[in-house]
Amino acid sequence: MKYYMEKDGEVMKENKKYNCIFDFDPGADDSVALTLSLYDEVLDIKLITTVCGNLSVDKVTRNALHLLEKFKRTDIPLAMGAKKAMYRMNPDATFIHQNEGMGGYIPPKTVQTKPIEKNAIEAMYEVIKKYQKDIIIFALGPHTNLGYLITRHPDVVGMINHIYCEGCAPYGLKSEGKWVEYISFNVSSDPEAFKIVLDSGIPITIIPSRMGRELANFTEEEVEYIKTINDVGRFINEIYSGYWEHNYPDRRIATNDTCACMIMRYPKIFKTKKAFFDVDTDKQPGKTIITFSRKGNVNFAYKVNKKKMHQIFYDSIKKLGNFKFY
């Protein structure tokens, strides 16, 4: 078997494609994460599923379909998922993603492409059975679809190779109107579903909220540079122009969901350690309880080479230089 060497030193099999499912709620950063993944030479996206989270499932589905149309990937099937959390009404995040969900970019009200007839849970089950033990899931929103999937089809537990997700805030900001310590939007939106995923035993890697906001964020100057790369960079800049993080003294853009994809693709630029994870579903719904242990049930990312991560991000945009939007 031949191998090639990635820039970051990670050795991967030549011509190896990784079958994957994107389960998400776009969302500004979700939209950027998918944009940079649609033509990734290593990722073979078999299915996209949407879930209520940042906005209603109708709006996030529209946003996902618009991205597929904009980047000419309507060959990827998209299935609509849960309209609400499993056992509670979940909030939305228009306060940061804006009313249409894509930050400063305003998508069209309607799209031509339609979701497939199967709902997200049954569509995921079908794909996972077809590629069992050779399928990964990027869970970039609340885990509602996955919670229902595992509950209705428990046999998927042994079929999923790995889940990569953004969630939890073990080093969150200290109250006073800022991010509540230990809480993250994706987890607190549906903590019961997150607990089902944690307890399932499926291998999981978690990017904490702090990673995207404080360790791998973009500065205002870096966001301006992104605009100069090409039309795709300008498109991403337009999204970011309405997605500035709250409660920081500077203007910054979080990269939580993008990191959740990059850690699978470029693991050597991140540092992880094992931890036991649990989540409170009662007194402080969404609070993650974390105990670091070599025998833990989660790979927890705690550090990233920011310079390399940003360079990979810029290079990924450059690879999409054939798209002309403006």
For 55-112, what is each residue's pLDDT tens digit?
999 999 999 999 999 999 999 999 999 999 999 988 888 888 888 899 999 999 999 9
CATH code given to domain 16-318: 3.90.245.10
147-173 pLDDT tens trace? 999 999 999 999 999 999 998 876 544
Q: Which structure tokens are listed for 132?
A: 């069992």
Structural domain spans, the chain = 16-318
8 A C-beta contact, residue 170 and residue 288? yes
Q: Are 196 and 147 a contacting pair, CB within 8 Å?
A: yes
Are residues 21 and 122 in contact, defined by beta-carbon separation less than 8 angstroms? no
pLDDT tens sequence across 13-44: 546 799 999 999 999 999 999 999 999 999 99
Query: How far from the centroid of its chain's Cα atoms is residue 102's Cα?
Result: 14
How much is the mean pLDDT over the chain? 91
pLDDT of residue 7: 39
Query: What 3-state class would DSSP assign to 43?
Result: strand
Exposed / middle / buried, residue 119 (Cβ in 10 Å: 0-12, 13-18, 19+): middle
Q: Give tens-digit pLDDT for 176-189.
A: 444 455 678 899 89
Phi, psi of 136 (to 5 degrees): -115, 155
CA-CA distances (angstroms) from residue 23 to 82, 88, 121, 263? Answer: 11, 20, 10, 16
Query: What is the C-alpha separation between 103 and 28, in angstroms, rounded?
Result: 5
Q: Which residues pair with 290 in a beta bridge?
A: 277
